[in-house]
Chain A
Amino acid sequence: MIDRGLGADLEKTTLLGAVLATVTLLRPLFAFKENRVALGEPVMLPEAGGVWVTGVIAGLVLAAGLLSFAPQVNRVRWAKISIGMLLFATLVITLGLSGSQAVAGMEFARITPSTGFWVGVLASFVLVQGSLHSAPVSHLVRSVVVLIPFLIVLILLAAGVLDSLAPVQEYYTRESRFVSELGAHLWLSGVAVLAASMTGVPLGILAYRRRMAERPVFAAVNGIQTIPSLALFGLMIAPLAYLSREFPVLRSLGIRGIGNAPALIALTLYALLPVVRNAYTSLAVIRGSVIDAGKGMGMSRAQMLRFVEVPIAVPIILSGVRVSTVQAIGNTAVAALIGAGGLGTFVFQGLGQGAPDLVVMGVIPIVLLSVFVDRSLAVVIRVLTPRGLKGAPS
């Protein structure tokens, strides 16, 4: 064996994770507030979790630090992934339990996670992702591992462990409103993606089949994408308001300058680009020789579609739909500005009231939704992709 010396196997990502994780020990874990608008009092990890928890976290940090010098073999990878997961679970549970203790008996008291907590979460993300990224595992396992932290949070939420957190308190005071806005959010993004797919796929195919159409189609969908979302929503207002005023039929259909109609149009326009681009690509990747071979074997037009074009193209088209769905979920947050509702409502309310906890309460479900939809679609696409075309997992 060649002695390669200490540091020969240094894994920088893991080291970064370990360094970040030390911040949880040095910075406040959360801030305690007597009521919604009170200034917070910082609480450090030892104070919140006691000796044991502090010891566990310090141990995890140390282990991650040491493992960053170990060769990146599979056992080490899984050790690091477990460390990241444990770090995350410990932080969240500690936050919930000590928060509940701190606010016990006080009606309006709450806690807000601070630097120590957020950086710790980031650290665990770095640890997990850094190792999972290069691990030789199936797509399904990867998706499941990514979903574990979200599952942990959901279970804790359901069990009431996180009730003392300010965003959760904000949620309790608006529970029914939250459900309806979540519904509105899903409806808006869903309809937009559906509409974008129904127009985008034919547009992409048209752009591929007709030379003439290619440039204008791409100029248009690319152009839309360069308009800032806020501006696009704003742009919808004037013409729709005008139409609504001039044609009472439209008004009776609920089409006005603000609300769902302009939001849906803008969201659909935004969602177009990935769909059109992938629909175009899906046909472009089918090489002429393959089409020639199919024709030469005596395939009819329908058989060519069934045996060749659809199996190759559908997964690529769905990848476009996936990107566009994740984008739409994010963009829908902005739609609240023109009165379309959705989870963005809470974000903008929070911004208006100077209540960051309300903002967080709006943002977290949006993130959760994006990740969940993204991973689920990734699995669906994986299943639909013929084995011969599978490359590296995405």
Chain B
Amino acid sequence: MIEFRNVVKHYGGQTAVDSVSFSIARAEVCVLIGPSGCGKTTTLKLINRMLEPSSGEVLLDGYPVASFEPEELRRGIGYVIQSVGLFPHMSVAENVGIVPRLVKWERSRRERRTDELLDLIGLDPAQYRRKYPSELSGGEAQRVGVARALAADPPVLLMDEPFGAVDPLNRETLQLEFAALQRKLRKTVVFVTHDLDEAIRLADHVVIMREGRILQHDQPAQVLASPANEFVRQFVGVDRALKRLACFEVGDHMKRAETITREESRNRLNEPNGDGGYHPILWVTNRDQALVGMLEPELNRRSPLAYRPYVELHPAEVGVRPAASLREALSRILGQGLRAVPVINDEGRVLGEVRLSDIEELNQTGITR
């Protein structure tokens, strides 16, 4: 979809982008990351011709971007700029509707689209349509910036630190919302950030840059597992093993869990053998099949006199959702002092379990020391 071929960009004597080649597939999120001044914004602006390369070329859908009229090209590429840059004299609705206006949509169609987008980014149109940028919080302004970029439904989206001006908590919310949005919209996204956790959370591929060069271009888990060089190793940090767990979803790594009812738990002395597998923990459910507690058969077997039917659990504290990361699962496991945590759905039903031993195993495969 987007391809850089030996692209160089000089500013006067300084080289901001130094012979960069990489490509971005359709519908993927590619995150550019690196220290301040490494050329991320410059790289981004080369795509929509806000900047022209000193040499080399950028291709979009196989055609050099230089072959498009700059204005035409840009109207087909959503752009969220680093400092939001909402038009201060326009209302939220006018800001969001600006590209449709430039491409001369009818007013009614524009208004419908604006409301639709405000809904999409989680701002109530009735309440926000008529507000002005000066009346928005930093997070709201950044959402509007994203909505504005999406307005004419461009297939490509360039996002330059779109959540940079928000506190960590809100930033995480925005990231999760964006990830959910992207699953729906499936745009080709080039996303710039300083924040490694953000990159891990959102990226299909990460491009790590330094002084205008690409040091590594790979899937986030791969980068964390085997950093290409000392700089990347330091950049991703000593806790990269832990961070890497954030790349995996619980849903992809859970095992079958064994459940029993409260009644069964009272009269059973032996572990059930539904699948003949090893089940260190039996999850106890109520009549609605919702999680209420757990039973460790081995403990009961060792001291039958002190037999306890089950230990009560708070599903909200112990259970993880299938969409959560293994990092979160590990945190629950450590927090509860258990060998496994249940995976539950919205109704509290047990879908499976994540075991500490599986996480350890996953951690050992792939990661280089």
* Interaction A to B: yes
26 residue pairs A–B, Cβ–Cβ below 8 Å: A289-B84, A290-B86, A290-B87, A292-B85, A293-B79, A293-B81, A293-B84, A293-B87, A296-B81, A296-B158, A297-B74, A297-B79, A297-B99, A298-B71, A298-B75, A298-B76, A299-B71, A299-B102, A303-B102, A307-B98, A386-B89, A387-B91, A388-B89, A388-B90, A389-B88, A389-B89
The answer on a CB contact under 8 Å between A298 and B72 is yes
Q: How far is the CA of A348 from the CA of B148 in the complex (A)?
A: 62
Check if B132 is an interface residue, CB within 8 A of chain A: yes
Which B68-107 residues have a C-beta within 8 angstroms of A? 70-76, 79, 81-91, 98-99, 101-102
Q: How far is the CA of A289 from the CA of B41 in the complex (A)?
A: 13
> A287, A307, A312, A387: which contacts B85 (Cβ < 8 A)?
A287
* Neighbouring B residues of A293 by C-beta, 8 Å: 79, 81, 84-87
* Neighbouring A residues of B98 by C-beta, 8 Å: 297, 307
Which A342-394 residues have a C-beta within 8 angstroms of B? 386-389
The answer on a CB contact under 8 Å between B75 and A297 is yes
Check if A295 is an interface residue, CB within 8 A of chain B: yes
Q: How far is the CA of A294 from the CA of B79 in the complex (A)?
A: 10
Check if A300 is an interface residue, CB within 8 A of chain B: yes
Given A290-B88, A388-B90, answer yes or no on A298-B73 (Cβ-Cβ < 8 Å): yes
Check if B142 is an interface residue, CB within 8 A of chain A: no
> B75, B82, B88: which contacts A388 (Cβ < 8 A)?
B88
* Neighbouring A residues of B82 by C-beta, 8 Å: 289
Most buried by A among B72, B87, B91: B87
Given A289-B83, A388-B134, answer yes or no on A296-B89 (Cβ-Cβ < 8 Å): no
Interface of A is mostly: helix
Check if A311 is an interface residue, CB within 8 A of chain B: yes
Q: A297-B102, A307-B98 are in contact. List 6 more A-B contacts (CB 8 A).
A: A292-B50, A299-B102, A308-B89, A312-B89, A386-B89, A387-B91
**Cβ of B129 to closest chain A Cβ, rounded Å:** 13
Given A299-B102, A388-B132, A388-B134, answer yes or no on A294-B48 (Cβ-Cβ < 8 Å): no
A-B contact count (CB 8 A): 71
The answer on a CB contact under 8 Å between A296 and B90 is no
* Neighbouring B residues of A311 by C-beta, 8 Å: 89
A291-330 interface code vs B (CB 8 A; 1 in, 0 out): 0111111111001000110011000000000000000000
* Neighbouring B residues of A389 by C-beta, 8 Å: 88-89
The answer on a CB contact under 8 Å between A308 and B71 is no
Q: Which residues of A contact B (CB under 8 A)?
A: 287, 289-290, 292-300, 303, 307-308, 311-312, 386-389
Most buried by A among B76, B82, B88, B158: B88
Check if B162 is an interface residue, CB within 8 A of chain A: no
Check if B133 is an interface residue, CB within 8 A of chain A: yes
> A289, A298, A300, A308: which contacts B81 (Cβ < 8 A)?
A289
**Cβ of B136 to closest chain A Cβ, rounded Å:** 10
The answer on a CB contact under 8 Å between B91 and A295 is no
The answer on a CB contact under 8 Å between A294 and B73 is no
> B48, B87, B132: which contacts A296 (Cβ < 8 A)?
B48
Which of chain B's residues has its CB closest to A299's CB? B102
* Neighbouring B residues of A312 by C-beta, 8 Å: 88-89
- Size bin of chain B's contact surface: 20 to 34
Given A311-B89, A389-B89, answer yes or no on A297-B50 (Cβ-Cβ < 8 Å): no
Most buried by B among A287, A297, A386: A297
**Cβ of A109 to closest chain B Cβ, rounded Å:** 60
Q: How far is the CA of A354 from the CA of B88 in the complex (A)?
A: 57
Which of chain B's residues has its CB closest to A385's CB? B89
* Neighbouring B residues of A295 by C-beta, 8 Å: 50, 74
**Cβ of B254 to closest chain A Cβ, rounded Å:** 43
The answer on a CB contact under 8 Å between B81 and A387 is no
**Cβ of B138 to closest chain A Cβ, rounded Å:** 14
**Cβ of B147 to closest chain A Cβ, rounded Å:** 13
**Cβ of B366 to closest chain A Cβ, rounded Å:** 39
Which of chain A's residues has its CB closest to B145's CB? A293
**Cβ of B99 to closest chain A Cβ, rounded Å:** 5
The answer on a CB contact under 8 Å between B133 and A388 is yes
* Neighbouring A residues of B76 by C-beta, 8 Å: 298
Most buried by A among B50, B101, B102: B102
The answer on a CB contact under 8 Å between B102 and A298 is yes
Which of chain A's residues has its CB closest to B133's CB? A388
* Neighbouring A residues of B89 by C-beta, 8 Å: 308, 311-312, 386-389
Q: How far is the CA of A389 from the CA of B132 in the complex (A)?
A: 9
* Neighbouring A residues of B133 by C-beta, 8 Å: 388
Q: How far is the CA of A292 from the CA of B50 in the complex (A)?
A: 8
Q: How far is the CA of A295 from the CA of B99 in the complex (A)?
A: 11
* Neighbouring B residues of A388 by C-beta, 8 Å: 88-91, 132-134
**8 tightest A-B CB contacts, nearest first:** A388-B132, A293-B85, A298-B74, A298-B75, A386-B89, A296-B79, A289-B85, A289-B83
* Neighbouring A residues of B71 by C-beta, 8 Å: 298-300
* Neighbouring A residues of B88 by C-beta, 8 Å: 290, 312, 388-389
**Cβ of B117 to closest chain A Cβ, rounded Å:** 14
Which of chain B's residues has its CB closest to A388's CB? B132
* Neighbouring B residues of A290 by C-beta, 8 Å: 85-88
Q: How far is the CA of A294 from the CA of B88 in the complex (A)?
A: 12
The answer on a CB contact under 8 Å between A296 and B72 is no
* Neighbouring B residues of A303 by C-beta, 8 Å: 102
Q: How far is the CA of A389 from the CA of B87 in the complex (A)?
A: 10
**Cβ of B82 to closest chain A Cβ, rounded Å:** 8
Q: How far is the CA of A289 from the CA of B50 in the complex (A)?
A: 13
* Neighbouring B residues of A298 by C-beta, 8 Å: 70-76, 99, 102
Q: How far is the CA of A296 from the CA of B98 in the complex (A)?
A: 11
Most buried by A among B74, B85, B148: B85
**Cβ of B93 to closest chain A Cβ, rounded Å:** 12
* Neighbouring A residues of B73 by C-beta, 8 Å: 298
Q: How far is the CA of A290 from the CA of B50 in the complex (A)?
A: 14
Q: How far is the CA of A287 from the CA of B134 in the complex (A)?
A: 14
* Neighbouring A residues of B132 by C-beta, 8 Å: 387-388
**Cβ of B27 to closest chain A Cβ, rounded Å:** 22
Given A388-B132, A388-B133, A388-B134, answer yes or no on A294-B83 (Cβ-Cβ < 8 Å): no
**Cβ of A297 to closest chain B Cβ, rounded Å:** 5
Most buried by B among A289, A298, A312: A298
Q: How far is the CA of A297 from the CA of B100 in the complex (A)?
A: 10
**Cβ of A294 to closest chain B Cβ, rounded Å:** 7
